[in-house]
Amino acid sequence: MPSNMNKATFAGGCFWCMEESFERVEGVIEVISGYSGGATENPTYKDVTYGNTGHFEVIEIIYDSEKVNYEKLLNIFWTNIDPFDEIGQFCDKGYSYRSVAFYSIDIEKKLIQKSIKKLEKKFNKKIVTYIRKFDKFYKAEDYHQNYYKENFINYLMYKNGCGRVKTLKKIWD
């Protein structure tokens, strides 16, 4: 990758919704749905959702650091999750749907920690989002990639039915 290209990895429940949120950001080149955080090699959706792989549904963001930085991506991440839900995100519950901010270098870890302190002070509540060192990313099955574009009506029904938009407005507005 060119030196101005970087990657960021976040888990915020349904990767379809997270993918949509980040693809609109100037400087984001690509957003890929996948799995990370666990020990199982090459997990499938079924393995991650119904098994005990230790993985989360994540997105890998490839971005141009000359146009957008990790801190801005981190801020977008926060406003697209419920950082107070310790059992999942919105209607998706279970370990694989927990929120996670992954870091690859120490400065990213410090930015995550700093933002958590700031949010805890703002809301006077404990943030339960995990902070994890990034290890490996496994791309999700093709039918998950760009799901919100390829299956727009089904996606909107899911997103609205899950209460994602309503919950995010309640937290962040």
Catalytically active residues are 14
CA within 13 Å, CB half, 37: 27
Tabulate helix, strand, coil % of the chain (nearest 5).
40, 25, 35
Q: For residue 23, which of 71, 97, 76, 89 has the smallest C-alpha distance?
A: 76
- What angle (nearest 5°) sits at the alpha carbon of residue 34, between those of residues 142 and 55? 135
Q: d(Cα 87, Cα 73) in Å, to the nearest integer?
A: 23
Which residues, listed in sequence order, are joined to residue 26 by a DSSP beta bridge?
none
